[in-house]
Amino acid sequence: MSGFMIRFDPDADALYVYYQHITPGDVARTEELGDGRQVDYSASGEVLGVEFLGVSHGVNLVGVPRADEVGAALRAFPIPSPA
């Protein structure tokens, strides 16, 4: 398994996939992938995590680093359907 940590915010209909532990100040840059997706990177270029918005309508993994592993982790994570 991947070792990802996933946090879901039902009020925002968003989730964040942590590739590793993040502390304040770790994120040096954020890349917008479009379609409600952002990738956070450290100063050394390591992927720290990915944010997905509107997840109750599906998650687009195109262009997401380690997409196969993230997809497997998300399949094990229950995301509620829209009401």
List the domain boundaries for the chain: 5-75
Tens of pLDDT along 13-22? 999 999 999 9
Answering whether pTM is above 0.75, one says yes
Closest CA to 44 of 61, 60, 28, 65: 28
Tens of pLDDT along 31-66? 999 999 999 999 999 999 999 999 988 899 999 999
3-17 b/e with 16+ CB inside 10 Å = b? ebebebeeeebbbbb
